[in-house]
Structure 1
Amino acid sequence: MFNKIQNYLLINHPLLWNTKIVPALVAGVLFNIIFFLLGYSEGTVYFKDNDYYYDGNSASIIFFSVLISILFFVVWIVYYTRNNAYKSFYQLQKFALYKEWLIILAICMLNVNYTLSYLTGKEVRVRTYFSYEETKKRCETISMASVFIDGGHYTPSANSNEPRTLVFNGQEYPVGSLINNSGQTFRISGNENPELKVKKLMQQDNQQQIKKIMRDYFALIKEHGLNTNLTPEQWFDMTYSHPHFIDYELIGKGNGNNDGLGYTARSYTYNLPHNALVNGYQRISNSWFSPLIEDSTILFTLYFGLAISMLVFGYKVTTGRNLLIAVISFGLLWILFGIIAVLSSSGKFIPYACLILVVAMMAYFLSVINSNEGKRVSGIVLNILLWSLGAVLPIIYGLLMDYYSNTDQGIRDSGYIYSKVPQYEWLLEHLSDFTFLNILFIALFMLYMTENVRKWKGTAES
Structure 2
Amino acid sequence: MFKNIQKQLLLKYPLLWNTKFIPMVILGIIMNIIYFFIGYYDGTIDFTGEYSYGNNDDEVLGFGFILTAIILLIWFWFYVKNNSFKAFYIKSKNALFFEFLQILIIFVLFFNFYIIYKTGIQLHNRSYYSYEEAKKRCEILSLAEIFIDGSFESTELDSIKMGMIYKSKAKNDSVFEVCRDNEKIVTKDYVLFDNKKYDKYSLINRSSLKFEINSFKEDSISLIKLKRDVISNKSAVLNFMSTYLDLIKEHNLHTNLDANTWYNAVVKQPKLKNFALIFPYTYNVEKQKNKDYYINHYDYYYNNDEYVVRDKYIFDENYLNSSNVKYSKFYLEHILLRDKYGKISNAYSYRYFRLTEVLILNCVAFMLAILLFTFRISKLKKWFISIVIFGILAILFGILSNVFRKVDFLFPLLSLVSFIVFWIYLLFIMNRKSEKQFSEIAINICIWSIPMFIPFLYFFAEEVYRDYIYVYKPNVRDSIYRMFRDNVSLMFSLNFILSIVLIFFMSKTIRTWKGISEE
TM-score norm. by structure 2 comes to 0.81
The residue that corresponds to 1:442 in the other structure is: 499
- Mapped contact 1:256–1:268 kept (Cα < 8 A): no
2:5 aligns with 5
Within the candidate set 217, 223, 235, 1:195 is matched to 223
Q: Tell me if the contact between 1:86 and 1:317 (Cα under 8 Å) persists in the aligned partners.
A: yes
> Structure 1 residue 408: deviation in Å?
4.1
Give the Å deviation of 1:255: 2.4
Structure 1 residue 72: Cα displacement:
1.2
Separation in structure 1 between the aligned mates of residue 426 and residue 150 of structure 2, nearest angstrom: 69
2:202 to 169, 177, 182: 177
Give the whole-Å Cα distance in 1 for the aligned partners of 2:99 and 2:187. 74
Whether 2:209 is the aligned partner of 1:149: answer no
Which stretch of the first structure deviates more once superposed, 101-110 or 122-131?
Answer: 122-131
Q: Tell me which residue corresponds to 1:413.
A: none
Code of the residue aligned with 1:88 in structure 2: it is A
Aligned partner of 2:418 in structure 1 is 357
Letter of the structure 1 residue corresponding to residue 505 of structure 2: Y
Counterpart for residue 458 of structure 1:
515
1:200-230 CA-to-partner distances (Å, cap 9, x unmatched) read 3324x22232222212211211121111111
Q: 1:381 offset after TM fit, Å?
A: 2.0
Q: Summarize the Cα distance change of 1:29–1:249 in structure 2 as closer, same or farther, 3 Å threshold.
A: same
1:248 aligned to 2:293?
Answer: no
Greater mean alpha carbon deviation, residues 124-133 or residues 447-456: 124-133
Cα deviation, residue 146, structure 1 = 1.4
Give the letter for the 1:293 counterpart.
F
Aligned residue type for 2:455: P
Distance 1:155 1:350, change over 3 A: closer
Name the residue aligned to 2:192.
167
Relative to structure 1, the CA distance from residue 50 to residue 19 in structure 2 (aligned partners, 3 Å threshold; closer, same or farther) is closer
Aligned-partner SS, 2:435: coil
**8 A contact 1:409–1:420 mirrored in 2:** no
Letter in 1 for 2:79: Y
Structure 1 residue 253, shift from structure 2 partner: 0.7
> Quick check: 1:147–1:182 contact (8 Å CA) kept in 2?
yes
Q: Distance in 2 between matches of 1:363 and 1:229?
A: 79
Checking the alignment, whether the CA contact within 8 Å between 2:255 and 2:282 is kept in structure 1 is: no
Deviating more after overlay: 61-70 vs 318-327: 318-327
| Contact 1:260-1:275 at 8 Å conserved across structures | no
Distance 1:208 1:7, change over 3 A: farther
Kept in 2, the 8 Å contact 1:330–1:384? The answer is yes
The reply to whether residue 18 of structure 1 matches residue 18 of structure 2 is: yes
Q: Does the 8 Å contact 1:368/1:374 carry over to 2?
A: yes
- The residue number in structure 1 matching 2:131 is 132
How much has 1:152 moved relative to structure 2? 4.8
Number of the residue aligned with 1:406:
467
Cα distance in 1 for partners of 2:365, 2:243 equals 49
Rounded Cα–Cα distance in structure 2 between residues aligned with 1:456 and 1:155: 72
Question: Retained in 2: the 8 A contact 1:178–1:246?
Answer: yes
Q: CA deviation at 1:101?
A: 0.7
Cα offset, 1:23, TM superposition: 0.9
Q: Which residue of 2 aligns with 1:283?
A: 343
Deviation at 1:417, TM superposition (A): 9.1
Q: How does 1:218-367 map to 2 (within 5 A)?
A: 218-256=245-283, 262=301, 265=320, 266-347=326-407, 348-367=409-428
* Deviation, structure 1 residue 342: 3.2
On the 8 A contact 2:278/2:327 being kept in 1, the answer is no
Once residues 338 and 3 of structure 1 are traced to their aligned partners in structure 2, the CA distance between those partners, rounded to angstroms, is: 52
Q: Is 1:253–1:259's contact at 8 Å kept on the other side of the alignment?
A: no
Rounded to whole Å, the distance in 1 between the matches of 2:421 and 2:404 is 22
The normalised TM-score by structure 1 is 0.91
* Farther-moved stretch of structure 1 (334-343 vs 74-83): 334-343
> CA offsets, 1:27-52, max 9 Å, x none?
11111111111111111223224634
**8 Å Cα contact 2:202/2:272 also seen in 1:** yes
* 1:340–1:95 distance in 2 versus 1, CA, 3 Å: same
Per the alignment, do residues 261 and 178 of structure 1 end up closer, same or farther by CA in structure 2, a change over 3 Å counting?
A: farther
> Aligned partners of 2:261 and 2:153: how far apart in 1?
25
Q: Give the Cα–Cα distance (whole angstroms) in 2 for the partners of residues 351 and 420 of structure 1.
A: 24
Q: 1:219 to 1:261 in 2, by over 3 A?
A: farther
Separation in structure 2 between the aligned mates of residue 309 and residue 170 of structure 1, nearest angstrom: 68
- Give the secondary-structure state (helix, strand or coil) at the position aligned to 1:448: helix
- For residues 167 and 436 of structure 1, the distance between their equivalents in structure 2, rounded to whole angstroms, comes to 51
Q: Is the 8 A contact 2:277 2:327 kept in 1?
A: no
CA contact (8 A) 1:40 1:125 kept: yes
Note the alpha carbon deviations across 1:237-290, whole angstroms, 9 max, x for none: 222234421253221111238995647554530101110011111122122211
SS in 2 for 1:167: strand
Q: Say if 2:112 and 2:358, in contact at 8 Å, map to a contact too.
A: no
| CA pair 243-358 structure 1, distance change in 2 beyond 3 A | same
Whether the 8 Å CA contact 1:144–1:213 is kept in 2: the answer is no
Distance in 2, Cα, partners of 1:453 & 1:103: 17
Stretches of structure 2 lacking an aligned partner (at least 5 in a row)? 156-182, 285-296, 302-309, 311-318, 321-325
Alpha-carbon distance, 1:388 to partner: 1.7
C-alpha distance 269-389 of structure 1, shift in aligned 2 (>3 A): same
> Which residue does the alignment assign to 1:433?
490
| AA at the equivalent of 2:218 | E
2:165 is aligned to none
CA RMSD of aligned residues (A): 2.6
| Residue 213 of structure 1 pairs with residue 240 of structure 2 | yes
How many residue pairs match? The answer is 452
Farther-moved stretch of structure 1 (337-346 vs 226-235): 337-346
Q: Please say which of residues 389-398 and 335-344 is displaced more in the overlay.
A: 335-344
Q: Deviations over 1:74-122 (max 9, x none)?
A: 1111111111111100122121111111111100101112222222222
Q: CA 1:10/1:52 → structure 2, altered by over 3 Å: closer, same or farther? A: closer
TM-aligned CA distance change 1:318 to 1:155, over 3 Å: closer
Unpaired runs of at least 5, structure 1 = 411-415
What amino acid maps onto 1:451 in structure 2?
A: K
Shift in CA distance, 403/197, structure 1 to aligned 2, threshold 3 Å: farther
Q: Distance in 2 between matches of 1:208 and 1:267?
A: 26
Sequence identity percentage: 30
Distance (Å, rounded) in 2 between the aligned partners of 1:101 and 1:50: 48
Distance (whole Å) between structure 2 residues aligned to residue 343 and residue 373 of structure 1? 42
Cα distance in 2, alignment partners of residues 75 and 429 from structure 1: 41
- Alpha carbons 1:187, 1:286 under 8 Å: kept: yes
